[in-house]
Amino acid sequence: AANDAFVRDIPKVELHVHIEGTLTPELRWKLAQRNGLKVKFGNNGPELHSMEELRYAMNSAEPKTEDEEREFFFASYYGAFDTLKTKQDYFELAMNYFEHVASMNVRYCEVFFDPQGHTSRGISWDVMMEGFKEAQMKAQRELNVRCSWIMCLLRDLPPEDAMDHYKAALPYRDMIAGIGLDSNEYQRPPLLFQEVFSLARRDGFRITMHCDVGQDNTHEHIRQVTSEMGGNGADRIDHGLNAADRPDLMDIILKRDIGMTICPWAYMRYQTYSELGPKMRLLFDAGIRITINSDDPAFMDDAWILHNWLLTKHFGFTDEEIVTLARNAVTVSWASQSTKDDIM
């Protein structure tokens, strides 16, 4: 376990985590009680009568195909949004994340949020953003964890809705380092959203997009993100592991020095251990700046950033290589130079 201490203690930066994906069954249960709401699985699932039932439903061990796995995840994830109502709820959601990762020695993070999943339920921007802002300030003050936010646009909704939300977010732009694209990728190529991402680029935002593993057209999606989005390509790519199949894509990523946010635990639902390690190794050995992240820890077996980091040891990364992985995240982060200097 001396080696595990090395991974545990190394200063970390997290660049791929959805704040809604950190809503644990414990916290969801507490918020539901406080707000007088029933807890259900999915958008219209059966009512759950205890925290234990909720935890059990979220971690269903039924064998699933890839498509079923994805459907189950999105039902579980979006179904949990309904307990978030007040500024205090958003504050506690974010604080719960910061407390978890402070204990794992995370010093800085860029955290995704999905505003469309909140405004669609009548939550105001002020409630959401002020709750996040207070947690951000408290985490910096009391936990030595600094943070910025990445507003994600939901690709399964119309591009017009993305544009409306982009414009509505501008009053909060001081809190927002970049704009991302997430949610269900099925038949939703990045270029559908070129207009809003080009505008974001012109306005000075960084841009990044999800290209998840196990998607149809994954190579074409990666190509669009790395060479076309926002003009000549995004600043980072979220996941993008399938670039390892294609030397031409690896070349673009390397030449443009595009950071990749890899979330190993998340892929174990779709890929075996023995496929995953070699793909990460191929990208890393090519000199591509891959980073280690958690994605949706509360919905993925309670695997937070430290658990994802521990996997790198199992994949055979040496201590020296682990230091490189940690530095990669600092380098490809959108923190100011003085924050970067502070972290490492």
Binding site for ligand ES4 (CB under 6 A): 18, 21, 77, 114, 182-183, 210, 212, 295-296
Residue number, nearest CB to ligand ES4:
182
Return the one option of Zn ion, ligand ES4, none that residue 113 interacts with (CB less than 5 to 8 A, by type).
Answer: none
Q: Minimum Å distance from CB 263 to ligand ES4?
A: 8
| Closer of 41 and 77 to Zn ion (Cβ) | 77
Least Cβ distance, residue 261 to Zn ion (angstroms): 8
Token digits of residue 302: 């309670």
Smallest gap, in angstroms, from Cβ of residue 266 to Zn ion? 7
Closest by Cα among 51, 78, 74 to 64: 74
295 interacts with Zn ion by CB under 5 A: yes
Q: How far is CA 146 from each of CA 236, 269, 298, rounded to the nearest angstrom? A: 20, 31, 21
> Segment near Zn ion (CB under 5 A), from 164-172, 183-191, 293-301, 305-313?
293-301
CA distance to 49, 257, 286, 326, per residue, from 29 (Å): 10, 43, 45, 34
Tokens matching residue 58 = 């979220």
Q: Which is nearer to ligand ES4, 277 or 297 (CB)?
A: 297
**Residue 110 interaction partner, one of Zn ion, ligand ES4, none, beta carbon < 5-8 Å per kind:** none
Residue 41 CB, shortest distance to Zn ion, in Å, is 21
- The partner in contact with residue 212, picked from ligand ES4, Zn ion, none with C-beta cut-offs of 5 to 8 angstroms by kind, is ligand ES4
Residue 14's binding partner among ligand ES4, Zn ion, none (Cβ under 5 to 8 angstroms by kind) is: none
Q: Number of residues in contact with Zn ion, rule: CB under 5 A?
A: 1
183 binds, among ligand ES4, Zn ion, none (CB under 5 to 8 A by kind): ligand ES4
Q: Are 5 and 97 in contact (CB under 8 A)?
A: no
- Whose Cβ is closer to Zn ion: residue 110's or residue 295's? 295
**Which residue minimizes CB distance to Zn ion?**
295
Least separation in angstroms between CB 113 and ligand ES4: 10
Q: Which is nearer to ligand ES4, 109 or 322 (CB)?
A: 109
Q: How far apart are CA 212 and CA 314, in angstroms?
A: 22
**CB-nearer residue toward Zn ion: 89 or 212:** 212
Query: Contact 118/72 with Cβ under 8 angstroms?
Result: no
Q: Which C-beta is closer to Zn ion: that of 82 or that of 295?
A: 295
Shortest spacing between CB 117 and ligand ES4, in angstroms: 8
Please say which residue, 92 or 212, places its beta carbon nearer to ligand ES4. 212
Which residues make up the interface to Zn ion (CB under 5 A)?
Answer: 295
